[in-house]
């Protein structure tokens, strides 16, 4: 095998649609037209198809037989299980998951969607957009799929009518894109006849109005997004290997990121760390391993690790939580019982629920959020869930493996629901608030205070490792705003620790509370019409997002990420903090023995190695003053 062939990437995609929309026929016809079937497969296809079928008369061949693998499916003419198939073209390798169309087999489709990157949604041109199509789209979206190829099939039955094609396309976009409002969603619409092979492998002249590519060309050229998920290293330990007294290895599947020999790691939740000594894959020693690899790791230190523990990098996005928010797809014929305890199974943890609090149910017809009534088979809803122990959890959109779970009925041992974590820790939202407290009405509004200062107030939130330049840039930015006649104020980490937050330490909980207080202080200052500059490491992405989304409600908040690598910060070390932390004199220091969660979507990213402090200030001013009035 050539090196070029070995290096081909793999695109995993799912095909789904309602019964008799032609999913299996579409896949079979694509393999046939692309000459990807073996001689034996072709001979078998002819034999099991109708008597009049032949290789030279493809419209008589029953292509669905190539993917429908179960006898029951052949007898009923439907797909009732997920059928997986591998094929390869000159450009790329593919894995197809052909999914059942019946509503009672939604669980099968949900399983396939969690392991694929692209969804092909089939719509029958005669029927148009139906409820099951909407359900399939939404489930795929919940499982993290952003790229959708919408195949409007059986166009030969409507004479490839352009108006029909456009109407179905517009109906789908009206339902999906406008309802969800996710800028990362990407759609392709193709008019196809699966049985006749139009626009599958080759462009067809039956639909001259269609200017896009054939289906297979789209799949071959589609860019695989490698940045969808959390990239920092994390692995759950499944088994501790002790073949003899001289060897102690930790086995598991890497959930995210990459690990290398000599890399420093932490044992999540135990406040201990070590370095990777050896990495084994299939008993072969390697220098590094990546997400998806099943490995055995040895460490340089004797540390307490057992099955169920997690090893992570110091930049891991995991949080130790017993209360989280999640979307659930109900898979059981018996409806959810709110007062019943279920078993929650995460990657390698099983815990019991202590509370399942329904927030709302998704109306599958228009994706609106409706009041909870009952939760039955194939219903999708949102819940706050409490469990009896804190375990490592992260949001599903950061890490599919560590952010997904199933609910199990303790008595029947049946899987009753599939879940995706939306918010891995609800402690911030759950802070107690007295029922006797209410907001006071103030006659002078925030708008009035901003108007008299002749500026648009906002919070400029500088975040980054110690030594990244936050205080320097904040000070220069404050001077620049002053010279422009603006009313600004700096909140700096060290200064605040001497005053309002002098009662807090440096545990994760105290850091969390430190930044929460700062967030509310910044909001009060912007309400007073000021431009407030916040200069804090603020390592926890969750609390930063809480400030941005909940306190500021995504208004008047500019997150500035000083993207400076830790080695550069160590060299700068203006306060000798890294030196002390590495010597063990400072505990829980960010970047050394405490993690830093880099922002996902900051308004500004500044490389302080590439740009001077003055240039950084200019870039911030360009954004902050752009809409200033």
Tens of pLDDT along 578-619?
888 888 888 778 888 778 888 888 999 999 888 999 999 999
DSSP designation for 547: I
Phi, psi at 27, each rounded to 5°: -65, -45
Between CA 589 and CA 506 the distance in angstroms is: 8
CA 23 to chain centre: 27
Domain boundaries 234-312, CATH class: mainly beta
Indicate yes or no: pTM above 0.95.
no
Tokens describing residue 261: 């020999």
The pLDDT of residue 316: 65
**Are 426 and 512 within 8 A, CB to CB?**
no
Between CA 267 and CA 250 the distance in angstroms is: 12
Q: Terminal CA-to-CA distance of the chain, rounded, Å?
A: 64
Domain boundaries 447-624, CATH class: alpha beta
Tokens describing residue 263: 């890399």
Task: Write 95-98 long-range contacts (CB < 8 A, 24+).
Answer: 95/10, 95/11, 95/12, 95/13, 96/13, 96/14, 96/15, 96/27, 96/67, 97/12, 97/13, 97/14, 97/15, 98/15, 98/23, 98/24, 98/27, 98/67, 98/68
Residue 13: name the closest of 290, 292, 218 by CA: 218
DSSP designation for 266: E
Tens of pLDDT along 398-410?
788 888 899 999 9
Domain boundaries 8-221, CATH class: alpha beta
- In 331-438, DSSP assigns E strands to 343-345, 350-362, 369-370, 380-393, 404-408, 415-423
**In the annotation, is 307 catalytic?**
no
Between CA 326 and CA 405 the distance in angstroms is: 10
- How many CB atoms lie under 10 A from the CB of residue 188? 17
Tokens describing residue 215: 């289906």
Between CA 374 and CA 371 the distance in angstroms is: 9
Q: 3-state class of 373 per DSSP?
A: coil
CA 515 to chain centre: 25
Residue 494: name the closest of 559, 577, 568 by CA: 577
The pLDDT of residue 511: 77
**Are 383 and 357 within 8 A, CB to CB?**
yes
Q: Which one of 3.40.30.10, 3.30.360.10, 2.40.50.140, 2.40.30.10 gives the CATH number of domain 320-423? A: 2.40.30.10
Between CA 214 and CA 143 the distance in angstroms is: 26
Between CA 540 and CA 332 the distance in angstroms is: 37
Phi, psi at 195, each rounded to 5°: -70, -30
DSSP designation for 64: G
Handedness of CA 205, 206, 210, 216 (dihedral sign): negative
Break the chain down into helix, strand, coil percent, rounded to 5: 30, 30, 45
- How many CB atoms lie under 10 A from the CB of residue 220? 15
Handedness of CA 106, 109, 113, 118 (dihedral sign): negative
Tokens describing residue 503: 């009662």
The pLDDT of residue 100: 60
The residue to which tokens 């880099």 are assigned:
598
As a dihedral over the C-alpha atoms of residue 579, residue 582, residue 584, residue 589, rounded to 10 degrees, the angle is 90
Q: Which residues pair with 85 in a beta bridge?
A: 96
Domain boundaries, the chain: 8-221, 234-312, 320-423, 447-624
The parts of the chain modelled with pLDDT lower than 50 are 1-5, 52-54, 68-80, 227-230, 428-435, 437
Burial of 440 (0-12, 13-18, 19+ CB in 10 A): exposed
Q: 3-state class of 139 per DSSP?
A: helix
Q: One fold for both 8-221 and 320-423? A: no
From the candidates 256, 538, 598, 612, which is the catalytic residue?
Answer: 538
Give residues with Cβ within 8 angstroms of 339, minimum separation 6.
none
CA 204 to chain centre: 37
Between CA 289 and CA 282 the distance in angstroms is: 12
Q: What's the CA angle centered on 289, arms 288 and 294, to 5 degrees?
A: 140
């Amino acid at each position: 095998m050539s090196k070029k062939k070995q290096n081909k990437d793999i695109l995993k995609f799912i095909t789904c649609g309602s019964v008799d929309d032609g999913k299996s026929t579409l896949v079979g016809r694509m393999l046939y037209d692309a000459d990807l079937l073996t001689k034996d497969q072709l001979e078998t296809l002819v034999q099991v198809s109708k008597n009049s079928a032949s290789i030279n008369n493809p419209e008589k061949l029953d292509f669905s037989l190539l993917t429908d693998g179960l006898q029951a499916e052949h007898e009923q003419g439907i797909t009732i299980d997920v059928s997986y198939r591998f094929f390869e073209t000159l450009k790329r390798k593919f894995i197809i998951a052909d999914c059942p169309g019946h509503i009672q087999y939604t669980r099968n489709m949900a399983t396939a969607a969690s392991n694929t990157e692209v969804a092909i949604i089939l719509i029958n041109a005669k029927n148009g957009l139906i409820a099951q199509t909407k359900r399939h789209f939404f489930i795929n979206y919940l499982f993290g799929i952003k790229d959708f190829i919408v195949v409007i099939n059986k166009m030969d039955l409507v004479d490839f009518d352009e108006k029909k094609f456009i109407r179905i396309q517009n109906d789908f976009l009206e339902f999906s894109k406008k309802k969800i409002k996710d800028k990362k969603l990407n759609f392709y619409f193709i008019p196809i006849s699966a049985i006749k092979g139009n626009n599958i492998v080759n462009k067809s002249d039956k639909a001259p109005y269609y200017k896009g590519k054939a289906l297979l060309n789209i799949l071959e050229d589609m860019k695989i997004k490698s940045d969808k998920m959390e990239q920092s290293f994390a692995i759950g330990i499944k088994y501790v290997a002790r073949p003899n007294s001289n060897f102690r290895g930790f086995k598991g599947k890497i959930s995210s990121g990459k690990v290398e020999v000599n890399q420093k790691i932490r044992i999540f939740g135990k406040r201990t760390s070590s370095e990777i000594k050896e990495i084994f894959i299939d008993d072969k020693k390697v220098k590094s391993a990546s997400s998806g690899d099943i490995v055995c790791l040895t460490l340089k230190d004797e540390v307490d690790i057992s099955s169920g523990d997690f090893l992570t990098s110091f930049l891991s996005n995991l949080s130790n939580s017993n209360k989280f928010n999640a979307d659930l797809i109900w898979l059981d014929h018996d409806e959810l019982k709110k007062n019943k305890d279920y078993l929650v199974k995460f990657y390698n943890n099983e815990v019991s629920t202590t509370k399942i609090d329904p927030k709302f149910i998704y109306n599958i017809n228009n994706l609106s959020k409706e009041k909870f009534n009952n939760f039955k088979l194939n219903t999708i809803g949102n819940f706050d869930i409490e469990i009896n122990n804190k375990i490592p959890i992260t949001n599903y959109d950061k890490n599919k493996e560590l952010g997904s779970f199933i609910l199990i009925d303790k008595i029947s041992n049946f899987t009753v629901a599939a879940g995706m974590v939306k918010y891995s820790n609800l402690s911030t939202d759950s802070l107690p608030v007295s029922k006797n407290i209410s907001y006071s009405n103030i006659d002078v509004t925030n708008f009035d205070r901003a108007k008299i200062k002749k500026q648009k107030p906002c919070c400029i939130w500088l975040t980054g490792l110690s030594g990244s330049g936050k205080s320097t840039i904040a000070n220069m930015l404050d001077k620049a705003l002053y010279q422009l006649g603006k009313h600004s104020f700096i909140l700096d980490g060290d200064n605040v620790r001497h005053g309002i937050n002098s009662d807090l330490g440096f545990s994760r909980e105290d850091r969390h509370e430190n930044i929460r207080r700062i967030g509310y202080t910044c909001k009060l200052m912007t309400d007073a019409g000021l431009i407030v500059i916040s200069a804090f490491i603020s390592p926890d992405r969750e609390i930063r997002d809480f400030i941005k989304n909940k306190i500021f409600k995504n208004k008047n908040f500019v997150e500035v990420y000083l993207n400076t690598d830790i080695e550069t910060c160590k060299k700068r070390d203006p306060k000798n903090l890294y030196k002390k932390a590495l010597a063990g004199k400072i505990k829980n220091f960010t970047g050394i023995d405490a993690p830093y969660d880099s922002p996902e979507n900051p308004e500004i990213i500044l490389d302080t190695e590439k740009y001077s402090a003055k240039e950084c200030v200019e870039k911030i001013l360009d954004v902050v003053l752009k809409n200033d009035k």
